[in-house]
Amino acid sequence: MKQTISYKKFFINYAIFIGILAVLLGILIYTTKITQKSWSKNLKKSIELVLDESDPSVWFITNELKIKNAFTLNAACYEARNKKNGQFYKAIIINTQTIYGPIPAVFIMDRNGEVQFIGYSSVHGRVREQLMNDTNNKRIKYWKKKIPYIIQQ
């Protein structure tokens, strides 16, 4: 006895499956959009903390600048004003590989494209000292050269 499935039943099952996928995709997109503002705010705070550890009460971080390339998943850029000289800079936070795994690093770029490494976010104590004392860090040198191309607008 052969059992055949009618086209009507097949398309009903297919529509139910596609509907479930669409609902799951909608939930995923909705949660991503909701958390985007919080994510941006927390990245801004991370940059502020690193800049304050380096130079207390010198930097003022303003609005987020959109990065228009594939690095938007690993980097964020904010406009920063130096309170001492009044000039505007770009503050960049980007994931860098270290001996302890990927750690976000904070850089400052001036109008001329000069990039300066400030420090690592969320790292303190002996680990921070060890990472900061590595003056010949090739990864930091790499990002210092690469950041002006990433931030181009």
Structure tokens at 106: 């904070």
Is pTM, for the whole model, over 0.85?
no
Helix (H/G/I), strand (E/B), else coil: 99: coil
pLDDT digit string, tens, across residues 115-139: 998 988 888 777 777 777 776 778 8
How many angstroms separate the CA atoms of 50 and 120, rounded? 7
pLDDT digit string, tens, across residues 91-113: 999 988 888 888 899 999 988 88
Structure tokens at 40: 């941006």
